[in-house]
Amino acid sequence: MDRLKNNLHFNFSEYKFPDIKLEECSYMEYNPSQAEVIAAVKGSVLMVVSDGKAVVTQADNRYTVTKGKGVLVRSGMSVNVKADSIEPIILISIKISGDAVKSFLSLIDKKQNGILLDFESNSKIIDSARDLITECAKTYGSDYAVVLSFYDFINSVHEHYTEKKIPTKNVYMTSAVEYIKQNYNKNLSVEGIANMLGIERSYLSRLFKTFKNKSTQNYIIDYRMRQAKRMFEEEDMNVSQVCAAVGYTNIYCFSRIFKSRVGMPPKEYMERCRKQSVNSSDTAGEFM
């Protein structure tokens, strides 16, 4: 901590303490394909996807949301949430009201179009939303702890949407992430990425821990697994083909990692995706 000078004094106007109230919050683990209408009455709702996948429909707009995404339901608006049949969504909803909500939401309007929010690059928002639910669920919890967790969440969202000068070290992060996305199907190594950027491996690791809240290696693995899931869902590929397509030469290693991250072996995930595709085709055929 920096050493402070003596005799410091600060005055605060009402502006420094905006009127944003926590009306209610909820944590919902949906069943496969479960649907629900969420309406915001006398307040706005910030929904954070803690895990899983769902389709959110609002008027004529349809959005697919996954972990790290969010949905803003403004006062007077309603949305339909339908959980995915394979990866049902886990959703945290936080309803806010108050005189300062309008100006708070205007920050979001400057960066996002529509109701879909992107928190994927900021794990702090998801963590603070979970912390709020945890505090609310405590049998002998403190009201002050709930308030603290709520404003930690609000501050996390505020920081996410406030214009900031990008630190120099973010340039390395941007380059590293882009390199991983372009080369995930190759023999990637943390050492190789660091050398490509011209920085020390330990420094690269600190950057990933700071900005992604995970190690460089875990980021590579998570990205590869997301691509593998996408291929099973969208492409007609078997396990061996997907294994090679995401950069693994050992199918047993790929299967072990996929199961640990997804919760089921890749063959089972592939079969579920194909079954879902067949069922969707049959249902569509009924209306032709």
Structural domain spans, the chain: 14-161, 168-276
Alpha-carbon distance of 229 to 170, in angstroms, equals 28
Of 3.40.50.1370, 2.60.120.810, 3.40.50.720, 3.40.50.300, the CATH number of 14-161 is 2.60.120.810
pLDDT surpasses 60 at 153: yes
Instruction: For residue range 160-201, list pLDDT tens digits in order.
Output: 888 655 454 578 888 999 999 999 999 999 999 999 988 889
253 in Cβ contact with 224 (< 8 Å): no
- Higher-confidence residue of 60 and 46: namely 46
% residues pLDDT > 90 (the chain) = 51
- Higher-confidence residue of 124 and 84: namely 84
**Cα distances (angstroms) measured from residue 168 to each of 17, 141, 152, 154:** 32, 41, 26, 26
Would you say the C-alpha torsion 268, 273, 276, 278 has a positive or negative sign? negative
Can you give the pLDDT at residue 166?
47
User: What's the first-to-final CA gap in the chain, in angstroms?
Assistant: 68
69 in Cβ contact with 120 (< 8 Å): yes
135 in Cβ contact with 146 (< 8 Å): yes
Give me the residue label for tokens 């290696």.
Answer: 217
Number of Cβ within 10 Å of residue 259's Cβ equals 15
Alpha-carbon distance of 5 to 10, in angstroms, equals 13
- Higher-confidence residue of 163 and 19: namely 19
Residue 32 DSSP label: T
pLDDT surpasses 80 at 4: no
Can you give the pLDDT at residue 284?
44
Helix axis angle for 168-183 and 201-212, nearest 10°, is 90
65 in Cβ contact with 71 (< 8 Å): yes
Q: Which CATH architecture has domain 168-276?
A: Orthogonal Bundle (1.10)
> Of 46-50, 210-214, 218-222, where does mean pLDDT reach its minimum?
210-214
